[in-house]
Amino acid sequence: MRLLALLHREVKRLLFLEYFPSKSVKISFSSESMGSEQIGQGGLASKASPGKATILALGKAFPHQLVMQEFLVDGYFRNTNCDDPELKKKLARLCKTTTVKTRYVVMSDEILKKYPELAIEGCPTIKQRLDICNEAVTQMAIEASRACIKKWGRSVSDITHIVYVSSSEARLPGCSGGVAGLRVAKDIAENNPGSRVLLATSETTIIGFKPPSVDRPYDLVGVALFGDGAGAMIIGADPVPVTESPLFELHTAIQNFLPDTEKTIDGRLTEEGISFTLARELPQIIEDNIEGFCQKLIGVAGLTHKDYNKMFWAVHPGGPAILNRMEKRLDLLPDKLNASRRALMDYGNASSNTIVYVLEYMLEESRKMKAGEADCDWGLILAFGPGITFEGILARNLAI
């Protein structure tokens, strides 16, 4: 655990030195564990409300290895020297059901050549994994932050706070970490007039890379579903006219823990890395609790369940089953979760980063709409993680 703490400390230190070599800033960290298409910042119709936090820019970055899902099975079994036909068939089925088409990953032939023990069952490799993670998550976080700041258009010296999110540890916010970090950044921005908060998230699955085993069937779900990458946002209240173009305005933010669900999403750290498990009942648990959670948020804006299909939905795509259950329970039109499904298809479940990719697709779709086509500008930013934890933010899409 000491090594994990050192990893996080190093990422924070490098982010600090990269951007603020001679300036005093405050740094806040959300304990969880980024080139990219350019989305224009102009042409926004709605104005931000005074004092409300807004997302001012988005950025992302990825490792160099792009994996096509149709080639994943053969590559994974070759790299791990496994020839179990039943496990291979199971992974092939999972690759189809996840709906993922492409993903970026840190793992490469070069890494396996340098660290062949990563593909050997039972080898104590936590130090090697953390060495790789340290370099990878730091570099991706910096690249995503650079992309975000470039889109923002202001000087790096105008950043006053950093919130860093990563899941390279056990028992951390995981998939809900991106929205949790956004909630923290929102509070900082609204309580510190003039502040500009850089939220950086960075994730790699290499901490849990293992050869397939009949004793660990869930490992294959991770192989078929999860991807690597990083994301960044800049959050601030009272945007500077002309200079800043707000994308989303953040209103009520809440977090909810579901009792007696702590084992539903579980991570175990061993000398061989991290092993994650997801209980089969996870999609059902989310379906059973999602409506009450959403109603807590939308009531603030005077909305009800009758407005669900007028709102936008930026949902972390934990997997297709979760999105399908949500769509069914809330009676959403098929296009309401388009941005989430596109992010899942193009990047896989990249844990805390994925909400950044969803929001980018949401903006892209909003800007394609013709005058009068858009629904109301209210919507929800949602994610689910270990706990089980629900994170949600009531927001306005200012691109409509």
How would DSSP label each residue in 100-113? --EEEES--HHHHH
Cα four-point dihedral sign 69, 105, 183, 150: negative
Which helix (H) or strand (E) element contains residue 69? helix 69-79
Cα 165 to Cα 200: distance, rounded to the nearest angstrom: 6
Q: Which residues are catalytic?
A: 175
Collect all residues with Cβ–Cβ distance below 8 Å to 371 and sequence separation of at least 6.
none
Cα 104 to Cα 351: distance, rounded to the nearest angstrom: 13
Cα 159 to Cα 148: distance, rounded to the nearest angstrom: 12
Alpha helices per DSSP H over 275-337:
282-298, 320-330
φ/ψ (deg, to 5) at 37: -70, 145
Residue carrying structure tokens 């850089």: 198
Residue carrying structure tokens 């092993």: 275
How would DSSP label each residue in 269-291? EETTEEEEEE-TTHHHHHHHHHH
Report residue 85 CA to chain centroid gap. 33
Cα 339 to Cα 129: distance, rounded to the nearest angstrom: 32
